Structure 1
Amino acid sequence: MEQITLSIVMPCLNEAETLATCIEKAQRFCAEQQIAAEVIIADNGSTDGSVAIAKKLGARVVHVTEKGYGSALRGGIDAAKGTFIIMADADDSYDFYNLNPFIEKLEEGYELVMGNRFKGGIEKGAMPFLHRYLGNPVLSFVGRLFFKSSIGDFHCGLRGFTKALYNKLNLHTTGMEFASEMIVKANLQGVKIVEVSVVLSPDGRSGKPHLNTWRDGWRHLRFLLLYCPMWLFLIPGLILMIPGLLATAALVTGPVTLGSITFDVHTLIFASSFILIGFQFVVFYGLTKVYTIENELLPKTNTYNRLFKYINLEKGLLLGFLLSLAGLVLGVLAYNYWKELGFGDIESGNPMRLVIVSVTTMLLGVQIILFSLFFSILGLKKK
């Protein structure tokens, strides 16, 4: 039996108008290039005769019951027998007769070959204005920023990769964000990625596109944020905590006047709130990082492995206890000051400042204790 080198996978949901054209182009390309290949139609519940068209043309049909673009592709790729996989939509927006750039790069040793529509050309009417000038550029920029990637077109539907890479990436998403998940995980694992220019033509279907601008755009952005908790939690947390700490340190001994404006205990309350809110963000960064790594959503790194040597339950409990104790001591001092005032006005002078700092310190101590316990629970799998 001949070994299959290439599997061309097309997700399909009612693509009867364009499916035959896509299959025939793919088959003609493989025949002319003398590539042992198969064309797989990952059908996601078509009711317009797409399945019959695919079977008539000799394509292999894989029925995928779980709905979604990502689900259909995963079903088709799981069933693929080729060493190399090329995936693209079945709406005739990509040219299946011009796949040589992908084959060449895969044979050179690249594990993921991305198409870039902005380099190759976007024909008139092929991409909506919002997608071309806002959605794709912004989301691709976010992806490059968060994951230090060089990919210019994160959402190009035409891409090639090895079956071995697909098996290693362990992809999970079911919707359009599947396109981002593949790049993000490949980039995090240090995979050899390259881009080639591709041309995007107008969708050959007369019906409404499957892509929903706002819903699918949000799903892409949400995925990028959740896979990079540093930008979602750590950086916002530090932006709140650092100014909060500086302001608290400046105001704890007395009011501060800048020009005609005086900052006093009310500002101190807000500063303390910034510290607590910022710390919550930082805590969620740590918890999210442990959860995603221990559940194999993100790869483990040497930094992560060293983390458990320096941060453990015992150290966290000790630090939390000491902060809580310090807060309690400050509370006692505040009580003594208040007593000296005859239990009168507490809103001015040292008592109120000490009360704010006391409560903030005790809350931080308790949060560190609870965080340490939960952190250790999430890390049990590693241990």
Structure 2
Amino acid sequence: MNPELSVVMPCLNEAETLAICIKKAQGFFERENVRGEVVIADNGSTDGSQKIARDLNARVVDVPAKGYGNALIGGITAAEGTYVMMGDADDSYDFSNMMPYLVKLREGYDLVMGNRFKGGIAKGAMPFLHKYLGNPVLSFIGRLFFKAKIGDFHCGLRGFSKDAFGRMELKTTGMEFASEMIVKASLKEMKIAEVPTTLSVDGRTRPPHLNTWRDGWRHLRFLVLYSPKWLFYYPGFLMFFFGLVISAILVYNPVTIGSVTFDVHTLLFTAVCMLIGFQFIVFYGLTKVFTVENGLLPKSKNYDKQFQFINLEKGLIVGALLIIAGVVLSFLAYNYWQDINFGDITNSNTLRIVIPAVTTMLLGVQVILFSLFFSILGLKR
């Protein structure tokens, strides 16, 4: 019979602690009467880890492609269990206490995360920066960006169904694999639970593979790139709204605050702020379509509706109207220049016409180009 639970451990020279972890997992199977297997996803060990695993009747899967994510993908893919538990082979996680995870998985949860902050972190088990800065900050960003109610985004001990793993379609090859799993499960609206777990001191004498700053940056980069709304839309909307409001005020009249007067030179910068903000919003739209159409992000509930609201014809009309408005304003400015016999323009009121004219024409061109590219990306539909 196929095992109910596969315990997958990524391994790269873990001879010091590998046997302890395997024995704990096998002891759990026997004590709780669970049909299980231990899968060692070996990433090119040179210290005899493979022999240790085979001598203890664990199944060894050779994964030549380097990286934490690669090792886990290889091991999980080879796992035969209905459910999978993954955890590091450094004896920091307790493989003898996996029942809370298995209970949740049997209840139908797709992903069950451990929470080390609720279960307990032994003294010296987690570096100061990880405990009080890196993990809390990255977990907060993950909850904010993806509405994932997870308190410990980077707990290495977690369980999931083999079916859910296939639906996640995980791609990353490094340490950010841990974040991708939660992000994909959240975006695909899978059932996620969290259970307390303990973290012990690493049992190895050598330094861990984790690099604080490099891997922390990879996690942060992944979270940001996988959330185009926070990366492009929200900053773009704020910039566009700020630029539009302040520009509208300055077009009407200069503003004096104390001894400082904000006039056409400020108007020029606020107009640029509005254009940059619009570029961000446009890039958000294009990124969203590209990622969804290429399977990098799942469709949101309103994804299909945007193609009814935004299309090539509407974009061409709006863009053309903006360009025409800019041309009309340009003619008004030209007439004023003609009235002074094309002489030196010293009146700032002229720039209050020229700057909006140029801005609306640029916006019109951007709208037309956006609608064209948007339609090209949606050709599959």
Question: Secondary structure of 1:51's match?
Answer: helix
Whole-angstrom CA distance in 2 between matches of 1:377 and 1:99: 49
Counterpart residue identity of residue 198, structure 2: V
- What is the CA-CA distance between 1:124 and the residue it aligns to? 0.7
Which residue matches 1:30?
A: 29
Whole-angstrom CA distance in 1 between matches of 2:122 and 2:379: 53
- What is the CA-CA distance between 1:331 and the residue it aligns to? 1.2
Question: Secondary structure of 1:209's match?
Answer: coil
Which residue matches 1:125?
A: 124
Counterpart residue identity of residue 193, structure 1: I
Which residue matches 1:208?
A: 207
Cα contact 1:140–1:153 (8 A) shared by 2: yes
The answer to whether structure 1 residue 252 and structure 2 residue 255 are counterparts is no
Counterpart residue identity of residue 311, structure 1: I
Which residue matches 1:266?
A: 265
Counterpart residue identity of residue 119, structure 1: K
Which residue matches 2:112?
A: 113
Which residue matches 1:73?
A: 72
1:360-375 to 2 correspondence within 5 Å? 360-375=359-374
- What is the CA-CA distance between 1:347 and the residue it aligns to? 4.7
Question: Secondary structure of 1:39's match?
Answer: strand
Whole-angstrom CA distance in 2 between matches of 1:346 and 1:121: 72
Count of residue pairs the alignment pairs up: 381
Deviation track 1:239-268 (CA, whole Å, cap 9, x = no partner) reads 111111011111113322233321111000
Whole-angstrom CA distance in 2 between matches of 1:146 and 1:361: 33
Which residue matches 1:196?
A: 195
Which residue matches 2:16?
A: 17
Which residue matches 2:91?
A: 92
Whole-angstrom CA distance in 2 between matches of 1:144 and 1:226: 15
Whole-angstrom CA distance in 1 between matches of 2:64 and 2:378: 35
Counterpart residue identity of residue 285, structure 1: Y
Whole-angstrom CA distance in 2 between matches of 1:89 and 1:196: 17
Cα contact 1:9–1:77 (8 A) shared by 2: yes
Which residue matches 2:61?
A: 62
Question: Secondary structure of 1:252's match?
Answer: helix
Question: Secondary structure of 1:302's match?
Answer: coil
Which residue matches 2:238?
A: 239
What percentage of residue pairs aligned between the two structures are identical? 67
1:331-342 to 2 correspondence within 5 Å? 331-342=330-341
The answer to whether structure 1 residue 288 and structure 2 residue 290 are counterparts is no
Please say which of residues 347-356 and 295-304 is displaced more in the overlay: 347-356
Counterpart residue identity of residue 85, structure 1: V
Which residue matches 2:323?
A: 324
Question: Secondary structure of 1:194's match?
Answer: strand
Counterpart residue identity of residue 75, structure 1: G
Whole-angstrom CA distance in 2 between matches of 1:346 and 1:56: 89
Whole-angstrom CA distance in 2 between matches of 1:232 and 1:3: 44
Question: Secondary structure of 1:362's match?
Answer: helix
1:43-58 to 2 correspondence within 5 Å? 43-58=42-57
Question: Secondary structure of 2:289's match?
Answer: helix
Which residue matches 2:216?
A: 217
- What is the CA-CA distance between 1:58 and the residue it aligns to? 1.0
Deviation track 1:256-310 (CA, whole Å, cap 9, x = no partner) reads 2233321111000011010011111111111111111111222112300111011
- What is the CA-CA distance between 1:205 and the residue it aligns to? 1.0
Cα contact 1:23–1:57 (8 A) shared by 2: yes
- What is the CA-CA distance between 1:356 and the residue it aligns to? 0.9
Change (3 A) 1:363 1:347: farther
Unaligned regions of 5+ residues in structure 1, if any?
A: none
- What is the CA-CA distance between 1:32 and the residue it aligns to? 1.8
Question: Secondary structure of 1:45's match?
Answer: coil
Misfit runs of 4+, over 3 Å? none
Cα contact 1:253–1:350 (8 A) shared by 2: no
Cα contact 1:346–1:352 (8 A) shared by 2: no
Which residue matches 2:141?
A: 142
Whole-angstrom CA distance in 2 between matches of 1:361 and 1:378: 25
